[in-house]
Amino acid sequence: MPTFTAFTKLSDKDAAEALGEAMEGMDPEPTGVGVFEIEDGSGTWEVGGYFLEEPDGVELALLAAGFAAKPFVVSEVPDTDWVDKVRRELTPVVAGRFFVYGSHDADKIPDGSEPLLIEAAMAFGTGHHGTTQGCLESLDALAAQGFTGRSVADIGCGTAVLAMAAARIWPDPVIASDIDAVAVEVAEANVRANGLDGRVTCVEAAGFGVPALAERAPYDLVFANILKQPLIDLAPDMAAHLAAGGYAILSGLLTRQAEEVVAAYASQGIHEKTRRVIGDWVTLTLQKPA
């Protein structure tokens, strides 16, 4: 059974969010609506919906006009077993000592590696994105230098792959958080699948904004693989919750966005140590002075 998508673009964040809310009242009703900033520095927002029936073109045109958006582009999506497709096309990722794989590749785990099982069916990142790979390689580099994380947090954890990687190589518990309740459920499922129950705690939170995160501070290592503006907004809280001498591994950034983030953290006394570039993406390792 085919499904349909309808996407448009506009340049005002508030209007984009309002348009997304208005789409939820359409008939036929969309099964999901998303509002995303296009990370190209243009300030453009994309609003899209997914439908089990072809959406009403007139209603979409009226919505676009009402919110000063470009005309919607409607596409039919063929019936595809996406999980099977991902399993066929995504190969395991080697990032330093870490080996990120799906269960269909369990026979490929190299001797001496630290395996991290992330199923293709799980949303919120499989470890194949350059930002996740960059964070894992940065973690591996810190550990190779003799650093041991005793209080580690993964902010905006998605699948919790970074939190699990830290728990694989160090003995102390790790905490992972995400603002999305479904992401937290996925993270918890991954923790169980990797046999890390009790080693990684997953909580729903924005930034450090729950007692479970605050009471474990100060942290000697914090991961935040999110986006440029949330990273900038997080800088004061990062400074407040990071231990003296502690590290922050930041990603979710295009290379051209790095300097703005570096400056935001430098203003809080957290300074860049290294950066790692994979394709168009950059991962920053910063440190708070001892």
pLDDT for 86 beyond 70: no
What is the predicted pLDDT for the residue at 122? Answer: 47
Six-digit token pair at 76? 């039919």
Pick from 122-131, 140-149, 185-194: least confident? 122-131
Angle (CA) 133-289-259 rounded to 5° is 50
- pLDDT tier for residue 106 given thresholds of 50, 70 and 90: confident
For the segment 266-282, the average pLDDT, to the nearest whole number, is 95
For the segment 239-252, the average pLDDT, to the nearest whole number, is 97
The predicted-structure confidence for 40-62, as pLDDT tens digits, reads as follows 778 899 999 999 899 999 999 99
156 labelled ligand-binding? yes
pLDDT, mean over the chain: 90
The predicted-structure confidence for 88-98, as pLDDT tens digits, reads as follows 556 788 899 99
- pLDDT tier for residue 287 given thresholds of 50, 70 and 90: very high
pLDDT for 137 beyond 60: yes
What is the predicted pLDDT for the residue at 103? Answer: 82
For the segment 251-264, the average pLDDT, to the nearest whole number, is 94
Q: What's this model's pTM, rounded to 2 decimal places? A: 0.74
Q: What is the 3-state secondary structure (H, E, C) of the chain?
A: CCEEEEEEEECCHHHHHHHHHHHCCCCCCCCEEEEEECCCCCCCEEEEEEECCCCCHHHHHHHHHHCCCCCCEEEEECCCCHHHHHHHHCCCEEECCEEEECHHHHHHCCCCCEEEECCCCCCCCCCCCHHHHHHHHHHHHHHHCCCCCCCEEEECCCCCHHHHHHHHHCCCCEEEEECCHHHHHHHHHHHHHCCCCCCEEEEECCCCCCHHHHCCCCEEEEEEECCHHHHHHHHHHHHHHEEEEEEEEEEEEEHHHHHHHHHHHHCCCCEEEEEEEECCEEEEEEECCC
- pLDDT tier for residue 154 given thresholds of 50, 70 and 90: very high
The predicted-structure confidence for 24-39, as pLDDT tens digits, reads as follows 999 999 988 988 888 6
190 labelled ligand-binding? no
